[in-house]
A and B are shown apart, each in its own frame.
Chain A
Amino acid sequence: MSVIVFYVVAVVTVVGALGVVLDRNVVRATLSLLIAMLGVAGIFLVAFAEFLALAQILIYAGAVTIVILFAIMLTRTTDLNINLDNPQRPVAFLIAVGAFVLLTLTFVYSDVPQLEEPTNVAVTSAESNSTGFETVGDALFNQWAIPFEIASVILLVAMVGAIALARGDDQEALADAPGEASEGSA
């Protein structure tokens, strides 16, 4: 049963991904990314990664697509029918096919001991009937607490950096002034 669901969702994902790289319309390519991301969220659900599926929909389908659409709108030039692909397209196609064949062969011949079917990572015992959410949260905040904190600092730095970079020219002089606090209000 799960294999049928997997195939359906995988086809949706691959079609969305192909739309991202092949579509002649920039906005449609970005909306194809949305389809691909929702498909990947479905793949996560098949593999019992409920939290990841939620995060995928919230972050990719919600935030990242919006950010990309904003960037497209702000960098749009007057001529809409420009060629979106560069001349090295045939080489790119060969490299992509080569990468696919190489990766697939590697995966086929790799010998990883694996389970019969996808299983939830939740540790179920007699006294605790924990869910995948609990197990992931437990691992994230106990064993992986320091990487988690570093990741939060990276997010903060990226946010401040993005604000500083994307600010208009007229405010550039202000940025050098000491005690300038526009980051706090953003």
Chain B
Amino acid sequence: MDLELLHFQVLSAALFSIGLYGVLARRSAVLILVSIELLLNAVNVNLIGQAALIERPPDERVFGQVLAIFIITISAAEIGLAMAIVLRLFRNRGTANTDELDTMKW
């Protein structure tokens, strides 16, 4: 059996679903952000699989890798900023659990 695009896509779907479960089921804001990293990596796996296997000229297939570079960049920016926000929340409220941060809930 050869390695085909579906392998990458199913792995990407699995990673995405696991990350989605983490985002929905975890209480701690830090662990929710960790799960968001999983979601972003699922997208990267899909992009890289497409870049390696889609039937296109190589100078178009490389766009998949370039987009993945941008996703890594944005997720690095996101995690730094989000962790700063979580630290601030913790300092102001004494907790980083999302179900206890319900000041805006009626």
Contacts and interface: CB of A to CB of B under 8 A. Distances in A.
Contacts of A121: 51-52, 58-59, 61-62, 65
A88 interface: yes
6 contacts: A14-B14, A43-B8, A49-B48, A77-B95, A93-B25, A103-B17
Contact of A162 (B6, B72, B84): B84
Interface in A121-178: 121-123, 132, 135-136, 139-140, 143-144, 147, 151, 154-155, 157-159, 161-163, 165-166, 169
Contacts of A122: 58
A68 B34 contact: yes
Contacts of A89: 25
Interface residues of A, number: 90
Given A3-B2, A161-B81, A14 B18 contact: yes
A181 interface: no
Interface string B83-102: 11111101100111111000
A51 B48 CA distance: 11
A139 B38 contact: no
A80 interface: no
Interface of A: 2-3, 6, 10, 13-14, 17-18, 20-21, 26, 29-30, 33, 36-37, 40, 43-44, 46-49, 51-52, 55-56, 59-60, 63-64, 67-68, 70-72, 74-75, 77, 82-86, 88-89, 91-93, 95-97, 99-100, 103-104, 107-108, 112-123, 132, 135-136, 139-140, 143-144, 147, 151, 154-155, 157-159, 161-163, 165-166, 169
Interface of B: 1-22, 24-28, 30-31, 33-35, 37-38, 41, 44-45, 48-55, 58-59, 61-63, 65-66, 68-70, 72-81, 83-88, 90-91, 94-99
Contact of B48 (A47, A59, A70, A147): A47
Tell me what chain A mostly uses at the interface: helix, strand, loop, or mixed: helix
A135 B21 contact: no
B18 A162 contact: no
A130 to B, nearest CB: 10
Tell me what chain B mostly uses at the interface: helix, strand, loop, or mixed: helix
A136 to B, nearest CB: 5
A60 B22 contact: no
Given A99-B20, A103-B16, A74 B87 contact: yes
